[in-house]
Structure 1
Amino acid sequence: MEWKTTPALSNQAIRTVGRIFEGSHDITIFSDTLAQPLSAQVASLNPASKILTLRVFCPTGNIDDYMPNGLISFDLEKMNRDDSPLLLCFEKVQATHERIYSNLFEIRCVLADSLLITVKPGGVRVPFLLGMSASVMLDVFSGSLAISARLCNLSLGGCRLEVPLEKSMPLTIHQQIPNIHIQFPNGEGFRAKGSIRNMRPFGCGRYMAVGIRFIDLDRETRQRLLYFITESEVELARRLGMENRRAGISSLFLTSTHARKPINASNKRNRLPPMAHAVKEVARQQHIILHYLKNERPFPESILYEGADSLLHLAESDRHQFLYTLRYVGDEATWVRHSVRVAALLGDILLTQPGMAGDAREAIAGILLHAMGKPLLVSEQLPSLDINLRTSQKDLLKHHVKALHQQLHKVGWSPGPVLSNIINDINERLDGSGYPTGKTKEALSKLVRTASVIKIIDTLTHARNGRPALSPLDAYRWVYGNGGYDRQCLNRYVRRYGLYPVGSLVKYSGGFLAWVMRLGREGSPSQVRVVKNLAFEDSKLDTVLSDKDIQQLGKLEAVVDPADFQL
């Protein structure tokens, strides 16, 4: 079947793309050589001429950087109300551009006949869209780590997967995957070995586009794969409304009545308050930086400092709202949550210290970058950072500073003195019990001592390695009794955040749980968001109370761990 030369399909594909552009969607222009993508908007789509016109603002003014040889690549992410988002990639589309004003451009893209289905030397490559789906399970490390994903397209040579950003941490380009299990809605599927041939962030969303090449296919698996490709090809034609196609849906895409529909986490993110979106974007950028480091691509310095600037700006604009917003990173990967919170609190404290405020930007960037060392060590010996670590794995993690420096050297990027100071010394202790070199009090700057206190308190107040989370008071007592930390820095921290820090979850004697939004002069919550009445396990509340109204909740009892209440 020559899809490439079928006018009916070409016209229908253009109309389908037009429908996709209707409603809420994001378009992101990406480059293989630049870290920062560009956001674009559809100016027009002409089905007759097959011209898609995009309008885009390019901060550098050099749009040619994103259009090598007159070709442009862009991603489209369309939100669906109840299902996972539609992710579609347009690669190497012929295009021309015109400068409209200053750094504002219009790009005219020529949509080819092979817009949706491409005929390649290795066979047809079928995209999964218009409700088509197939689940994928990657056994990354045999017997110790499996990652779930969704199928974006399928061909005889391989496939493209949509992997959630937080799950993509163990993956690198050229990595061998010992087992890939692709399963269609009716339960049929196949297994194959593969190799990651390319991967990159998908647009500005929270997905990684991962290209897989199938390897060592035996004859039986190859025949099954041909069957799945053919069925998927015909099913897409049916959904496109092609004539002379069978009327019934392919059995592959008949969903079992017991199948559960995936939860669209994107809709939940869309309901976040504006400042929370900004904090979550810093968290997303942590994954992007790690991806560039692991795959030895040019270091995305602009993304690192963009995150630092964002946290500083938020802390200065509305401090209480900022601290409350940090609770929204609680559902991030542990290393990301930890790095963003510590960086944010360090910035908040440094802004009040005239002698150190000038180093705040570099120090925050240092915290964000320091966090990359541990995920760089993920391997078969250390398949995850979120497990109860054995002694040998804990010893391995102590080499994370060295691993980070080695990777920075490979990508040719050297941090400045303040940033280096944070990376090298934040795990050192005043009494010489820290690592990597066992420095003592005299060798550790006030900036490092401040950052160390923030870091250890955040560690202690979150569960880790089977150890439950401590309350702020218990964490303060632990740090005070440890000779490795500066008590003056600890006292400053306690005075600033108190026993019931903004953003913490507190329990009242009336059985209510509430997020602390603001503190009064005496350090007790003066504004809270009530989210749960423990007398009604399945109920959810969302009520903001202030001052005397808080007394309705009963006596303030303690700070509690949100994970204990699925919050």
Structure 2
Amino acid sequence: MNEAPVTADNEFTPVNSVVELATYYDALSQPGVANLTLLGPGEKSHPLVIVEQLEEDYLLFDLTAIRDVAPSLRRGGKFILSGYTPGGLVRSNPLAVRDFSSVEGRLLAYVDWPKEIHVQQRRASFRASLRLGMHVGVLVRSTDNDKEELVELQGDLRDLSATGCLAEFFMQDGVSRVLPDIATEIALHFPNGTSFEVTARVRHIKNDNDRQVMAVGFEFENPSKAQEREVWNYVREIEREASRSASNGDSRNESELFRIRDEDDDRLGRRHKHQYATPMARRLARIAGYLDSQMVVMRQGEAVSSQQLSLHADRLLDMLDDDREEALFSVHCIHRESRWVRHGLAVALRMADMLGSQKVPRELRKAVAASAMVHDLGKGLLPQDIWRATTLSTEMYEEMHTHVDALLDKMGGVKWLAPVVRDNVIAQINERLDGSGYPLGLKADQLGQLARMAAVVDSMDALQRSRPDRPAKPAAVAAKLMQPLVDQFDESWLKKYVTHFGVLPIGSLLRFEKGVFAWVVGLDRQKRVAKVRVSPHKYAPDEKLGPVIAGAALAELGRIRDVLVPET
């Protein structure tokens, strides 16, 4: 969150908002915070206990431990209330006691509620942080960056202030589809069912790759006076509940906001435990989460992380080494992330798999996989209108070509990636043999073997994904559409692709003669369907998939009647 300029050491900022004053007085009431300083010769500070406040009426002090100041106060002596709070050093105007009371041996003093205090080195606002065990859900709504439809992202509130909040989101939730956006609708959901909605803008983003979360700071956009007061009440309640939870033997009642109304309310936090069709799909989702969050921070001006790219490229190769068929199927099982991420992972796995069959050294396969994983992330840096359009104007077409350079500008710190691999896979994957590609219009003799291979793998996968200007095609149809285009694509790599993956490759959705839907998960040596997993629906694979079926059990399903594109 952007902080307000810090005032000089000898400057104090006046505060006179009722709700903000009450928040500071609540902070001063915490043990060991407040001090009372008598004004006059030899002024001295004394620790003070604030027992209670009634807004715009009084503060109630407990003077039992500092009875020696009572005589001076009874004579009308003035004093200053001060203390260090999370919002800064607080100092009141000169105050006086209006009434004394004795209750069960305790000396109490009533003071008129101060209608103004001064804060030194004041932050933009008082910020209340949630402690462990306190749950407030954050729901962000925005227009999908890929499509003209409303999407939601669920997370956890970490702190709240009058001007904004900090929330954490799970990387595997497809954060790039929502963040960042110019204006985002954000809703806070408290345990007792209370909800608060406001328009907000993303101000800063930080990735925690170990925990697989993204911390996002939001600034509220032009909140109304009623919303400001509402937020301040939430800030005070969070601060009170956090201090209550942190205290030993605290007898204060639980904040009403944090009384759980519905144990099954799924709005109170992000959904960590996503269900995936296979364990391998869960592994791939972790890589997808990294790429998705990488695209978000790139929009904020950050570069591609060299270390994280290396780590996740190794993880991708490990998946292929552990179980090739499961790895190839896994690309069909993730769907929360941006289409650029899903496409990049599919291209990376298939290129690495093809190179693996040719005994290519692991380091080269890793460089190819890393380049393919990120090759389309630059598209996420361009205006989304380009990717939603069914036709492109000349200006939009030219701007679309800049996604390559936009990504390469972010790749300067990835020193371990061989430039020749980077250029072939990232810079030249959109070039064509006849010179009709982009960004440079290179021709046949200017394109290396990796660039030719990348162009085929990239286009085959792109045809199997829907776009605003055309629907997705099954793999077999995509291969037929590519065959005549030998003037643009290397014919030998087209043949190698189909030979390697088969006409009905792993990840094809089939409908059998008896009406059963099933996903191809294994091929025999002749690249014929050998293993499938039955699905109860025509959507992307999920945890409802049946067991692997092969041999006689597969034959019982009957002949293949249709090859389908999964419904969305």
Please give the range of the TM-score, normalised by the shorter of the 2 chains.
0.5 to 0.7
What corresponds to 1:301 in structure 2? 306
Q: 1:178 to 1:413 in 2, by over 3 A?
A: farther
- Counterparts of 1:181 and 1:272, CA distance in 2: 33
What corresponds to 2:499 in structure 1? 495
Which of 245, 251, 259 matches 2:252?
245
- Counterparts of 2:202 and 2:314, CA distance in 1: 38
Which of 525, 534, 540 matches 2:529?
525
Rg (Cα) greater in structure: 2
Asked whether the 8 Å contact 2:134–2:258 carries over to 1, the reply is no
Matches for 1:58-97 after TM superposition, within 5 Å: none
Q: 1:204 to 1:511 in 2, by over 3 A?
A: farther
Asked whether the 8 Å contact 1:304–1:365 carries over to 2, the reply is yes
Asked whether the 8 Å contact 1:195–1:215 carries over to 2, the reply is no
CA RMSD of aligned residues (A): 4.0
Which of 365, 378, 381 matches 1:360?
365
Q: Which blocks of at least 5 consecutive residues in structure 2 are unaligned?
A: 1-25, 33-120
Q: 1:426 to 1:193 in 2, by over 3 A?
A: closer
Q: 1:415 to 1:400 in 2, by over 3 A?
A: farther
- Counterparts of 1:261 and 1:216, CA distance in 2: 25
Is residue 2:395 matched to residue 1:391? Answer: no
Q: 1:252 to 1:479 in 2, by over 3 A?
A: same
- Counterparts of 1:395 and 1:332, CA distance in 2: 26
What corresponds to 1:514 in structure 2? 518
Query: When the two structures are superposed, what TM-score results if normalisation uses the length of structure 1?
Result: 0.67
Is residue 2:141 matched to residue 1:135? Answer: no
Is residue 2:326 matched to residue 1:321? Answer: yes
Q: 1:317 to 1:473 in 2, by over 3 A?
A: same
1:222, CA displacement in angstroms? Answer: 2.9
Asked whether the 8 Å contact 2:277–2:545 carries over to 1, the reply is no
Asked whether the 8 Å contact 1:517–1:528 carries over to 2, the reply is yes
Q: 1:439 to 1:515 in 2, by over 3 A?
A: same
Asked whether the 8 Å contact 2:154–2:267 carries over to 1, the reply is no
Give the aligned length: 441
1:510, CA displacement in angstroms? Answer: 0.8
What corresponds to 1:230 in structure 2? 236
Asked whether the 8 Å contact 1:527–1:544 carries over to 2, the reply is yes
Q: 1:327 to 1:138 in 2, by over 3 A?
A: closer
- Counterparts of 2:297 and 2:218, CA distance in 1: 18
1:446, CA displacement in angstroms? Answer: 1.5
What corresponds to 1:155 in structure 2? 161
- Counterparts of 2:314 and 2:520, CA distance in 1: 25
Identity across the alignment (%): 25
Is residue 2:286 matched to residue 1:281? Answer: yes
Which of 545, 559, 565 matches 1:561?
565
1:296, CA displacement in angstroms? Answer: 4.0
Matches for 1:25-424 after TM superposition, within 5 Å: 122-127=125-130, 130=133, 132-137=135-140, 148-150=153-155, 151-165=157-171, 166-168=174-176, 171=179, 177=183, 182=188, 184=190, 186=193, 188-189=195-196, 191=198, 194=201, 196=203, 198-214=204-220, 219-236=225-242, 243-246=250-253, 250=256, 265-269=271-275, 272-273=278-279, 275-297=280-302, 299-353=304-358, 359-378=364-383, 385=387, 387-392=388-393, 393=396, 395-408=398-411, 416-424=419-427
1:431, CA displacement in angstroms? Answer: 1.4
Q: 1:270 to 1:486 in 2, by over 3 A?
A: closer
- Counterparts of 2:311 and 2:268, CA distance in 1: 33
Post-superposition Cα deviations, 1:29-62, rounded to whole Å, max 9, x if no partner, equal: xxxxxxxxxxxxxxxxxxxxxxxxxxxxxxxxxx
Post-superposition Cα deviations, 1:283-327, rounded to whole Å, max 9, x if no partner, equal: 222134334544444642122122222223332343223223333
Q: 1:211 to 1:432 in 2, by over 3 A?
A: same
1:480, CA displacement in angstroms? Answer: 0.8
- Counterparts of 2:161 and 2:403, CA distance in 1: 39
Q: 1:355 to 1:281 in 2, by over 3 A?
A: closer
- Counterparts of 2:336 and 2:149, CA distance in 1: 23
Post-superposition Cα deviations, 1:414-443, rounded to whole Å, max 9, x if no partner, equal: 862221222111101111111111111111
- Counterparts of 2:371 and 2:414, CA distance in 1: 17
Secondary structure of the residue aligned to 2:531 is strand
Asked whether the 8 Å contact 2:463–2:472 carries over to 1, the reply is yes
What corresponds to 2:550 in structure 1? 546
Q: Which blocks of at least 5 consecutive residues in structure 1 are unaligned?
A: 8-118
Query: When the two structures are superposed, what TM-score results if normalisation uses the length of structure 2?
Result: 0.67
1:406, CA displacement in angstroms? Answer: 3.0
- Counterparts of 1:145 and 1:414, CA distance in 2: 38
1:404, CA displacement in angstroms? Answer: 1.7
Post-superposition Cα deviations, 1:142-175, rounded to whole Å, max 9, x if no partner, equal: 9998764443321234310123432246646xx8
